[in-house]
Amino acid sequence: MPTLVMKFGGTSVANLDRIARASKRVALEVANGYNVIVVVSAMSGKTNELVGWVNETSPLYDAREYDAVVSSGENVTAGLMALRLQEMDIPARSWQGWQVPVQTTSAHANARIEAIPTDNIEAKFADGMKVAVVAGFQGISPEGRITTLGRGGSDTTAVAFAAAFGAERCDIYTDVDGVYTTDPRITSKARKLDRIAFEEMLELASLGAKVLQTRSVELAMRYRVKLRVLSSFEEPSDQAGTLVCAEEDIMENNVVAGVAYSRDEAKMTLISVADRPGIAAAIFGPLADAGVNVDMIVQNISEEGRTDMTFSCPFDQVKRAQKAMEDAKASGSINFHDLVADEGVAKVSIVGIGMRSHAGVAAKMFETLRDEGINIKVITTSEIKVSVLIDRKYMELAVQALHDAFELEKAA
């Protein structure tokens, strides 16, 4: 029997009514002849609440216990959805990560899926089970402890199951009806895209468009999973949503496909470090060891053998970064006069495959920001994106101005 993966995000399982509504969708696909693997998130707001409790209890928490706590939200929705389906006379069973088992690395709070053996669930399907309701976002480490896959990780659970089971499609049901040219919460001019290339979606996701977790797009691209994003609130239709697909399957590429932003950034500057071979390794090695995800890096020109080193990281990692740098200083491996943290910045990016063949896209971005009087603090570019770090208070304005400048309201 063909298999379908259906993932329901937090707002789609926010209360019992929504779980009932999602279950009806699942029932439709069962009636269409599929064995369904449903992947559920925690009820919306639940994971944030759990993360808050962990931070309040222990600011530099043990990540194994963070995972023990924050993975629990998904267990509730998986059980409730299985019960609701059973009430509808559909043979359904819930599965926590360890029961499948979803085998992951031991990188707690940010683990990667290594394997999903299909035997246990296949055996139940063979026995007449129609729906496996899997708790998203969680797995089990080689040491036998519960892990989580990073925020938004249920998307990755869904795509990984689709790849492991050779599913016909992976449908991601969320609170918007597809992938837009930018977050529709920021501008009403945002347009839904019928299709978007894996590469573009990958960049948009990694630059902050949280509609899909980055790793889920990576997996879909690698295993060629047919990935669709659609709304759980609209009537079912074959044409609904956005198909994330190979570049060749898109007729015409826009120069810029979308604008992404990330609010949760911080800029840190080490003032006056020795400008010598090995200094970058001496700074960024300890940061990596401390689990700090460094993004943009700028090294100033040096004066009298000393320089300033600036980098950006998520602002909830500032404390970890400061501790790693103070420890490195105490051990004598680096020396600096001061460490300045600017927690009031945001990153805004434009993404598009068409940039490969169009010159002047970055210049147009910079002119647009100039015309709005927005100062750029750091810039990074790649073949298909340009990102800038700016004051957070201008973030919405920057996104709207760039959306206008690249005429994305005309996109489709």
Q: Does 152 bind Mg ion (CB under 5 A)?
A: yes
d(CA 124, CA 336): 60
CB of 192 to ligand ADP, least distance (A): 8
CB 350 within 8 A of CB 379: no
Site for Mg ion in 68-127 (CB under 5 A): none
Q: Which helix (H) or strand (E) holds 397?
A: helix 395-405
Q: Does 187 bind ligand ADP (CB under 6 A)?
A: no
Encoding tokens for residue 76?
């509730």
Name the 3-class secondary structure at 172.
Answer: strand
Q: Does 211 bind ligand ADP (CB under 6 A)?
A: yes
Reference 39, options 64, 51, 22; nearest CA is 22
Q: Does 241 bind ligand ASP (CB under 6 A)?
A: no
Name the 3-class secondary structure at 146.
Answer: strand
Which of Mg ion, ligand ADP, ligand ASP, none is residue 241 near (CB under 5 to 8 Å by kind)? none
CB of 343 to ligand ASP, least distance (A): 22
Q: Does 352 bind ligand ADP (CB under 6 A)?
A: no
Options 154, 181, 242, 269; binder of ligand ASP; rule CB under 6 A: 154
CB 348 within 8 A of CB 387: yes
Q: How many residues does the chain have?
A: 412
Encoding tokens for residue 120?
């246990």
CB of 102 to Mg ion, least distance (A): 17
Which of Mg ion, ligand ASP, ligand ADP, none is residue 209 near (CB under 5 to 8 Å by kind)? ligand ADP
Options 3, 10, 160, 374; binder of ligand ADP; rule CB under 6 A: 10
Site for ligand ADP in 226-265 (CB under 6 A): 258
CB 149 within 8 A of CB 157: yes
Options 30, 209, 217, 402; binder of ligand ADP; rule CB under 6 A: 209
Give the relative orientation of helices 46-57 and 72-87 as an angle to the nearest 10 degrees: 150
Amino acid found at 372? E
**Phi, psi of 208, rounded to the nearest 5 degrees:** 125, -15
Q: Does 395 bind ligand ADP (CB under 6 A)?
A: no
Burial class of residue 301, CB neighbours in 10 A (0-12, 13-18, 19+): exposed
Q: Does 19 bind ligand ADP (CB under 6 A)?
A: no
Q: Does 73 bind ligand ASP (CB under 6 A)?
A: yes
Site for ligand ASP in 120-149 (CB under 6 A): 136-137
Q: Does 12 bind ligand ASP (CB under 6 A)?
A: no
Options 4, 8, 10, 133; binder of ligand ASP; rule CB under 6 A: 10
Reference 54, options 74, 75, 41, 72; nearest CA is 72
Options 139, 152, 208, 286; binder of ligand ASP; rule CB under 6 A: 152
Options 97, 153, 241, 286; binder of ligand ASP; rule CB under 6 A: 153
d(CA 305, CA 289): 27
Q: Does 225 bind ligand ADP (CB under 6 A)?
A: no
Identify which of residues 116 and 334 has a Cβ nearer to ligand ASP in the complex. 116
DSSP single-letter state for residue 188: T
Instruction: Provide the pairing of β-strand 131-135 with 92-95.
Output: parallel
Identify which of residues 97 and 153 has a Cβ nearer to ligand ASP in the complex. 153
Up-side HSE of residue 25: CA atoms within 13 Å toward CB?
A: 27
Instruction: Provide the pairing of β-strand 258-274 with 297-299.
Output: unpaired
Residue numbers of the site for ligand ADP (CB under 6 A)? 9-12, 41, 152, 174-176, 179-180, 182-183, 185, 204, 209-211, 258
Residue numbers of the site for Mg ion (CB under 5 A)? 9, 152
Residue numbers of the site for ligand ASP (CB under 6 A)? 9-10, 41-42, 47, 73, 136-137, 151-155
